[in-house]
Structure 1
Amino acid sequence: QRCFQVRKTLGAIASPFGCWLVLRGIRSLAVRMERHAANAQAVAEALAAHPAVEAVHYPGLPSHPQHVVAARQMKAFGGMLSFQVRGGLEAAVAVVARVKLFTVATSLGGVESLIEHRASIEGPASPTPANLIRVSVGLEHAGDLIDDLLQALD
């Protein structure tokens, strides 16, 4: 009963293997986050300059409405971004289908780059704009990721 109360109060206890994974990963976290944010910044800038892109939502861009606040509060702007393409639903779905390096999946912040058409995942009642694509930029070479997205947009 006492053990149950401790677990109920403090939460589940991680397994030894889970703890080992955390310890192993924490040593390289700073380097991975630097690459994650630098890659996302480069991808966001490339997307913002493309004529098929209507908007890029990334706090690292000066055009973002909260850029000044984000720059004051953070050292870097993270690896998550979204963008809206011209051409609506069909164009957004086509971009996601044409990428080669990105994995189509719902997740955040991993070492691999992921892409998804959020409205397709959420269904017909989705509040997400039909032309919005969400990207979790990973640790791959930024130039390769940019080239892949640009070929998918063309």
Structure 2
Amino acid sequence: MLTYKILIIKYYMRLISTSGPLPTRDTDDFWLRIRKARNLGGAVLGPFEAWLLQRGLLTLFLRVRTAAGNAEKIANFLAAHPAVVEVLYPGLPGNPGHEVAARQMQGGFGAMLSVRIAGGESRARAVAGKLKLFRQATSLGAVESLVEHRASVEGAGTLVPDDLLRLSIGIEFADDLIADLMQALAA
């Protein structure tokens, strides 16, 4: 069985190889439309962007491992906090998808988690606003930790609970992130 590090490297090496050429079996109408879109839109990485991609891959496994470890520590902290209604994270044993995640994921359960805050939407927004180390932004990952009030991002008619905050955990020191969450939840 491949290790977590090897899987990440294989995935991103595949990304590098598809950042330039796009091979297909046939030169049909669909391929011609793709080629036209690439030519008109500039969908091929320039030399500098390709270099940045290659450079970032060298430390990717370290960043992913650190962020996943931080997320697990934060999820466990939040799961025990009285101001938290629910933590949605596959690394927690009580999560409905935990058994499947434990079989499929090696080396961590990812760096994304959601948390439902007691007190509803206004309280969730207040907690997000009190965070000092987390940036308020919509993203699926970065080296810095991010927070968003997902329902307000999606707008009217969303099925996302209005007390939910989505956290993308970065590579900062986990104890600092926990201290930041602790002060925001206490305020």
Note if contact 1:92-1:117 (Cα within 8 Å) is conserved in structure 2: yes
The answer to whether structure 1 residue 14 and structure 2 residue 62 are counterparts is no
The answer to whether structure 1 residue 146 and structure 2 residue 184 are counterparts is no
Structure 1, residues 126-152: CA drift from partner, whole Å, max 9, x if none? 211000000000000000001101111
Tell me the C-alpha RMSD between the 2 structures.
1.7
Distance 1:55 1:9 in 2: 48
Sequence identity (%): 52
The partner residue of 2:148 within 113, 116, 121 is 116
The answer to whether structure 1 residue 28 and structure 2 residue 69 are counterparts is no
Distance 1:74 1:20 in 2: 29
Quick check: 116-125 or 22-31, which moved more? 116-125
Distance 2:33 2:46 in 1: 16
Note if contact 1:79-1:136 (Cα within 8 Å) is conserved in structure 2: yes
TM-score by length of 1: 0.93
1:117-132 aligned at under 5 Å gives the runs 117-132=149-164
Q: Which has the higher contact order (CA 8 A, sep 6+)?
A: 1
Q: Which amino acid aligns with 2:94?
A: S
Distance 1:114 1:65 in 2: 25
Distance 2:68 2:59 in 1: 14
The answer to whether structure 1 residue 38 and structure 2 residue 83 are counterparts is no
| 5+ residue gaps, structure 2 | 1-30
Detail structure 1 runs of 4+ shifted over 6 Å in the superposition: none
CA distance 1:10–1:27, shift in 2 (3 Å): farther
Note if contact 1:57-1:81 (Cα within 8 Å) is conserved in structure 2: yes
Q: Which amino acid aligns with 2:47?
A: P
CA distance 1:56–1:9, shift in 2 (3 Å): farther
Structure 1, residues 91-115: CA drift from partner, whole Å, max 9, x if none? 1011001101100000111000000
Please state how far the C-alpha of 1:5 moved relative to its aligned partner: 3.5
TM-score by length of 2: 0.77
Structure 1, residues 44-75: CA drift from partner, whole Å, max 9, x if none? 00000100000000001101101010010011
CA distance 1:20–1:6, shift in 2 (3 Å): farther
Note if contact 1:119-1:130 (Cα within 8 Å) is conserved in structure 2: yes
Please state how far the C-alpha of 1:122 moved relative to its aligned partner: 1.6
